[in-house]
Amino acid sequence: MINDSTQPMQLEAETVITTFENYGMAWGLYIGLTLLLAGLVWFAFRKQHFLLKWFFASVILAGALCFGHPAENIETYSPLILNTMVELFDGNTEQFMSDIKFIVLVWGILFIVGVGAWLLVRYLRKNKDDAGKAEKQPRKPAKDKQEKASKEASNKDKPMATPVEPTIGDDV
C-alpha cells in the first residue's frame, strides 16, 4: 500500500527532473562552462609543454562532455560523469566500470587526435619556414662575394687607433 500512495509523487518527480523547459539552454550553459574551465586550465599551464596542457584539457573535455541517459526509459541526457558517480553510490559497479571505460576511450581518442593535429601543424610550419628561408636568401653572384672579402681584408691591414683611458689626476 505504501508504494501505491508514493507512486504518483515519484512519477511526477521523474517528469519534472527529466523534462524541463530550459533543457537546451542548460546544456548550452554546461558546455560553455566546460569550455571555459578547459581554457582556464590551458591558461594556467600556458608556459608548459603542449602535451601537458593538452593532457589536462582533454581529461576535462572528455570527462565533462560525454553524455548518457541518467536512467532507463528516459529520453533526455545528462553528463556521463554524473551518471557514473550515481552508479558508484548506488553500488552498481558493473555499470560504473562500463561508463568509466567509455570515458577513457573517448579521452584516448580525443588525446590522440589532438596530438596528431599538433604534430601536423608543427610539421607544416617547419616546412613552411624552411621554404621561406630559402626564398628570402637570394643567391649572390660570386663577384659580390669576392669584393666583400677583399674589403674586409683591406680593413684588417689598417692600424686601429689605441684608446686612451683617462686616469684620476690628469687634469692637474
The residue whose grid cell reads 577513457 is 104
For the chain, what are the domain ranges?
2-137
Model confidence at 11, pLDDT cuts 50, 70, 90, reads: low
Residue with cell 601536423: 120
66 closest CA partner among 29, 105, 94, 97: 105
In DSSP terms, 68 is beta-bridged to 78
Question: Would the pTM count as exceeding 0.85?
Answer: no
Query: Would you call 124 exposed, middle or buried from its count of C-beta atoms within 10 A (0-12, 13-18, 19+)?
Result: exposed
Whether the pLDDT of residue 3 is over 70: the answer is no
Q: Can you give the pLDDT at residue 1?
A: 47
CB 64 within 8 A of CB 79: yes
78 forms beta bridges with 68
Other C-beta atoms within 10 Å of 77: how many? 15
Q: Which residues contact 109 (CB under 8 A, 6 or more apart)?
A: none
Q: What is the pLDDT of residues 53-72, one digit of tens each?
A: 999 999 999 999 998 888 77
- Over the stretch 125-155, which tens digit does the pLDDT of each residue have? 988 877 766 666 655 556 666 777 777 766 6
Rounded Cα distance, 60 and 49, in Å: 17
Whole-number pLDDT of residue 147: 72
Q: Is 18 buried (19+), middle (13-18) or exposed (0-12) by CB count in 10 A?
A: middle
SS3 call for 67: strand
84-119 pLDDT, tens digit each = 898 889 888 998 899 999 999 999 999 999 999 999
